[in-house]
Chains A and B, each alone.
Chain A
Amino acid sequence: MIGARPLTDRATRQAPESPAVTETAPVLTGAQIALESLIAEGVETIFGYPGGANLWLYRYLPEYPQLRHVLVRHEQGGAHAADGYARSRRGAVGVVFATSGPGALNLVTGLATAYMDSVPLVAITGQVPSTAIGTDSFQESDVIGSTMSVVKHSYLITRVEDIAATIKEAFHVARSGRPGPVLIDFPKDLQAAKTAFIRDGSQVRMRSYAAPPKPEPAKLRRIAQLIATAERPVILAGRGVIISQAENELLELAHRAEVPVGWTLLGTGAYPPKDPLALQLVGFMGAGYTNKAVCNADLLIMIGMRCDDRVTTRLDSFAPSVETLVHIDIDPAEIGKNVIPHISVVSDAREALRGLLDLVEPRNGGRWLTQVDQWREEHPIHFVNNTGLLQPQEVLLEMYARCHDEAIVLADVGQNQIWAALWFNYRRPGLFINSGGTGTMGFAFPASMGAKLANPDKTVFCVTGEGGFVMNMQEMATMVEHNIDVKVVILNNASLGMVRQFQDDFYEGVRSAVDLSFTPDFVKLGDAFGMKALSTNRREDVGPMLDEALAHRGPVLLNFDIDPDANVYPIVPLGKGMLDFVEAS
């Protein structure tokens, strides 16, 4: 064993020791200390919902005008909004408040979404008074227990003296290493209790949580060597590339060594699809040419990805020709979890890529690139319009034509998500945000509020279906109240499209509980909420409608009634292998 350090080192959380310091330090309530601590962490925006157990926080919130509070209309919306905020602003941690019991439990799906996709979030939940915990008092729930498997870590505050250090530690845990959500359960009596508030500018020290290791130079040298000699190299990029802001390094490496680059659903945006070396989405609903490249590669370098079943399809069909599989990830538990690599590097993606850039020599992609280009021509991402009805891709092409390689695009879950990912077409790395891990329907709409608030100068499109939109449409009120300028593109096929497609193709053609033809009139719905709304089912209206939406300052709901039988292609039938993809015909 190495890296030894004696156990006599105490953990960080210790109460201020001497009462003497209170003479100079202001005595504040726990609620004030919490808010002061959030400001110290650079927090500007909080999404939240008040209730009995967090009212002391809300009592003092107006005294801190530098903290913008956005009153969401459902706690789940708050969690997703904080998530969208964090994903779209580099370095930011999303913050959400909720009260005890039902309020806190409504965060669970949002926390799970952030956990799977490694999003830094701090949730502060009110809790019943510490003296009442365990008595089944009103609105009491074991929030720590309920959320344990969907957070990176959680804290129950038990002493007012611990608040400042706990919040500091929580932010450190949320944003460092592999980021993730952290929950702080904050009993209401401790929000009201008072103690001296001492600003602590020191670094967080935790003996049980350390910075991730640096990439080992020997391994990087070996990888650089392999790149130099490989005949058929492929790089796959995951969300880790985006989290570590390594897009430019990836681009530079790919160009220098002339290696084609594909990506996972969560890695969409990490590499520009219009780049000549770009492959496309990989796996279950990936492009045929990406899957062919991966399956024929002799060197496969996976960066910042988990390699889940949506990437590998049937595990034994994944990359069978690979002679050397390289996996770079910040989380050692991801190495060898699904696919066992020959070389693994546990480090931040950007550090590993920078290390490689120092070692990799310019190289000619040669015949392999010709082969990849040929596959790209044979298996282009395409769609067919057999019905004359409006196709989702026609809408997305018009939308992306108005993104100018820089709009932030959020996609919900289902067919709309894959369509939006496959047609994402930037010339440079961009932000494409979706719930790739948990696949949380209803994510995109509230998350897009967060993304816009975090990026007021950027155009934000939210691509969703009528099913997912309705799941969190209460946030229309929030969006209108704050005039959050998101353009919502509803691809309305009057059904739960992905489920319908699965039922048609994989579940013996029995359509069951997927009909959404009873969906509100979205124009009238927009009207009811005071949100501009437009609707069409005609190809020629799409462009002008998008232009009208973009010209409007404020949120706009755009309903597109699309071909109800439009399907996602390519797709690998369930249980089949990577090369068994079925394409649009």
Chain B
Amino acid sequence: MSQTRLLSVLVENKPGVLMRVASMIRRRGFNIDSLSVGPTEDSSVSRMTIAVHVGRQQAEQATKQLAKLIDVITIDDITGLRNVAHELLLVRLHSPPERRSEILDVVRIFRGRVVDVAANTLIVELTGSSEKVDNFIELMRPYGIKELARSGAVALVRGDQARIRLVDFDVSGNGADDEPRPAGNGAAADTTGTV
């Protein structure tokens, strides 16, 4: 059964890393729903949030193949965890003055913001889960969507504990685990040490 899995991946902030990740995902035939990359609190590290549409076994394989990439520091499969996964939507709506207040009502319900107003259009900014963004777009479709951009999800897990930790790369392959465990290339204090 396929589902969208959300992978939070920390990578070295080096040129070409995005291409390595994208190239591996294409080569192995995994389907990406969205991928977003940005800096983290540590300037040598970038975070990629990858929503990938795969089955269970494929998810494990995707995680392991990602872990093999030398520039990938750690992979965290946060699917199903208590996480905040939000994306940003910018949408230019056809909004002649007579329909504007109707539209603004919906925008308010969705806690969106109008960030640009022109004679016949509005640009609305909205953040939230992908479902919320999808719903908003559906509601706006009858008014006329002239242009649309969405960022893909970025995500963090809720709670006090940061999950930015390096994990070992023992990945149980017996398929008995309930959840694919986070895998990473891991880190050892030295190259000969055990993990």
Chain A contacts to B: CB under 8 angstroms: 1-5, 7-11, 144-145, 148-149, 152-153, 156, 172-173, 176, 203-214, 216, 327, 331-333, 335-337, 340-344, 346
Interface hits, B172-195 → A, CB 8 Å = 172-175, 182-195
| B195 adjacent to A3 (CB under 8 Å) | yes
For A212, the chain B residues whose CB sits under 8 A away are 169
Q: What separation, in Å, do the CA atoms of A153 and B24 have in the docked complex?
A: 12
- Chain A residue with minimal CB distance to B45? A7
Interface contact B191-A211, CB-CB below 8 Å? yes
CB distance from A142 to the nearest CB of B (A): 10
Q: Determine whether the beta carbon of A340 is less than 8 Å from that of B166.
A: no
Q: Contact check, B194 vs A214: say whether CB atoms are below 8 A apart.
A: yes
Q: Which residue of B lies closest to A344 (CB)?
A: B173
Tell whether, in the assembled complex, residue A2 and residue B173 are in contact, meaning their CB atoms are under 8 Å apart. Answer: no
B117 interface hit (Cβ, 8 Å): no
Please give, as numbers and ranges, the residues of chain B lying within 8 Å of A153 by CB-CB distance.
70
Q: Which residues of A contact B184 (CB under 8 A)?
A: 208
Contact of A148 among B19, B166, B175, B187 (CB under 8 A): B19
Residues of A within 8 A of B44 (CB): 7, 10-11
Q: Which of A3, A331, A342 contacts B186 (CB 8 A)?
A: A3
Q: Within 8 Å of chain A (Cβ to Cβ): is B108? A: no
Q: Inside 8 A of B34's CB, which chain A residues have their CB?
A: none
Q: Given A172-B191, A173-B70, A336-B175, are A5 and B65 also a contact pair (CB < 8 Å)? A: no
- Interface 9-residue window, one of B71-79, B99-107, B129-137, B148-156: B71-79
Residues B168 and A148 in contact, CB atoms below 8 Å apart: no
Q: Which residue of A lies closest to B194 (CB)?
A: A214
With a cutoff of 8 Å between Cβ atoms, the chain B residues found around residue A5 in the complex are 165-166, 187, 189
Contact of B166 with A3 in the complex, beta carbons under 8 Å: yes
CA distance in complex: A211, B188 (Å): 7
Instruction: State the B residues within 8 Å of A (CB).
Output: 10-12, 15-16, 19-20, 23-24, 27, 42, 44-45, 57, 60-61, 64-65, 67-68, 70-73, 76, 163-175, 182-195
Q: Say whether B170 contacts A346, CB under 8 Å.
A: yes
**A206 touches which one: B45, B183, B191, B194 (CB < 8 A)?**
B191
Expressed in whole angstroms, the minimum distance between the Cβ of B31 and any Cβ of chain A is 18
**Complex formed: what's the CA distance from A582 to B80 in Å?**
50
Taking a contact as CB atoms closer than 8 A, the residue among B15, B60, B61, B70 that contacts A208 in the complex is B70
**B23, B72, B166: most-surrounded residue (chain A CB, <10 A):** B166
Q: What is the number of contacts between chain A and chain B, taking CB atoms within 8 Å?
A: 132
Interface residues of A: mostly helix, strand, loop or mixed? loop
Q: Is A340 in contact with B170, judged by CB distance below 8 angstroms?
A: no
User: Quick check: B171 and A332 within 8 Å, CB to CB?
Assistant: yes
A211 surroundings in chain B (CB, below 8 A): 188, 191-195
Closest CB-CB distance, A202 to chain B, in whole Å?
A: 10
Q: How far is the CA of A402 from the CA of B169 in the complex (A)?
A: 46
Tell whether, in the assembled complex, residue B174 and residue A341 are in contact, meaning their CB atoms are under 8 Å apart: yes
CB-defined A-B contacts under 8 Å, sample of 20: A1-B163, A1-B165, A4-B167, A5-B165, A7-B44, A11-B12, A148-B19, A153-B70, A176-B191, A207-B73, A208-B184, A210-B187, A213-B168, A213-B195, A214-B194, A332-B169, A335-B64, A335-B171, A344-B173, A346-B171
CB of B163, distance to nearest CB on chain A (Å): 7
Taken together as a complex, chains A and B put the C-alpha atoms of A213 and B194 apart, in Å, by 6
Name the residue of chain A whose CB is nearest to the CB of B183.
Answer: A332
- In the assembled complex, how far is the CB of residue B84 from the closest CB belonging to chain A, in whole angstroms? 19
Is the pair B190, A205 in contact by a Cβ cutoff of 8 Å?
Answer: yes
Task: Tell me which residues across on chain A come within 8 A of B193, comparing CB atoms.
Answer: 211
Q: Which of B169, B173, B188 contacts A340 (CB 8 A)?
A: B173
- Let me know if B172 and A344 touch, CB within 8 A: yes
Q: How far is the CB of A170 from chain B (nearest CB, A)?
A: 10
* CB of B46 to closest CB in A, whole Å: 12
Contact B42 A8 (CB under 8 A): yes
CB-contact partner of A341 in B166, B173, B191, B194, under 8 A: B173
Q: In the bound complex, how far is the Cα of B20 from the Cα of A152, in angstroms?
A: 11
Alpha-carbon distance between A425 and B48 when the two chains are bound, in angstroms: 52
Additional A-B contacts beyond A209-B70, A327-B173, A332-B64 (11; CB < 8 A): A1-B182, A2-B167, A5-B189, A7-B44, A7-B73, A7-B164, A145-B19, A205-B191, A208-B70, A213-B194, A333-B67
| A176–B70 alpha-carbon span in the complex (Å) | 12
> Once the chains are docked, how many angstroms separate the CA of A207 from the CA of B13?
13
A203 in contact with B73 given A208-B12, A332-B64, A344-B173 (CB within 8 Å)? no
Query: Once the chains are docked, how many angstroms separate the CA of A340 from the CA of B172?
Result: 11
A208 and B187 within 8 A (CB): yes
Minimum Cβ distance to chain B for residue A172 (Å): 7
A1-B67 Cα distance, complex, nearest whole Å: 14
Contacts of A2 in B (CB 8 A): 167-168
**7 closest residue pairs by CB, A with B:** A335-B173, A3-B168, A344-B173, A4-B165, A333-B64, A336-B173, A332-B171
Set B71, B165, B186: member contacting A210, Cβ < 8 A: B186
Check if B71 sits within 8 Å of A208, measured CB to CB: yes
Which chain A residue has the least Cβ–Cβ distance from B13?
A11
A210 lies within 8 A of B188 (CB): yes
Q: Across the two chains, which residue of chain B brings its CB closest to A212?
A: B169
| CB closest residue in chain B, given A158 | B15
Partner of A209, one of B165, B174, B182, B185: B185
Which residues of chain B come closer than 8 Å to A145, judged between CB atoms?
19
| Neighbour of A156 across the interface among B16, B42, B194, CB < 8 A | B16
B187 touches which one: A203, A207, A327, A337 (CB < 8 A)?
A207
Nearest to A345 among chain B residues (CB) is B173
Cβ distance B21 to chain A, nearest Cβ, rounded Å: 11
Closest residue of B by beta carbon distance from A204: B191
Contacts of A346 in B (CB 8 A): 169-171, 173
Residues of B near A11 (CB, < 8 A) are 12, 44
Q: How far is the CA of A216 from the CA of B12 in the complex (A)?
A: 30
Q: A332-B173, A340-B175 are in contact. Are A7 and B42 (CB under 8 A)?
A: yes
B161 to chain A, nearest CB (A): 10
Residues in B with CB closer than 8 Å to A214 are 194
Give the residues in chain B near A7, CB-CB below 8 Å: 10, 42, 44-45, 73, 164, 166
Check A1 against B76 for contact (C-beta < 8 Å): yes
Taken together as a complex, chains A and B put the C-alpha atoms of A10 and B43 apart, in Å, by 11
Note all chain B residues with C-beta closer than 8 A to A210.
168-169, 185-188, 191, 195
Which residues on A sit within 8 Å (CB–CB) of B171? Answer: 332, 335, 346
Chain A residues near B183 (CB, 8 Å)?
332
Which residue of A149, A331, A333, A342 contacts B174 across the interface (Cβ within 8 Å)? A342
Residues of A within 8 A of B27 (CB): 149
Contact of B70 among A152, A205, A340 (CB under 8 A): A152
Contact (Cβ within 8 A) B64 A203 = no
- A-side contacts of B190, CB under 8 Å: 203, 205
Nearest Cβ in chain B — how far from A262, in angstroms?
21
Taking CB atoms, residues of chain B closer than 8 Å to A337 are 61
Bound CA–CA A87/B51 (angstroms): 40
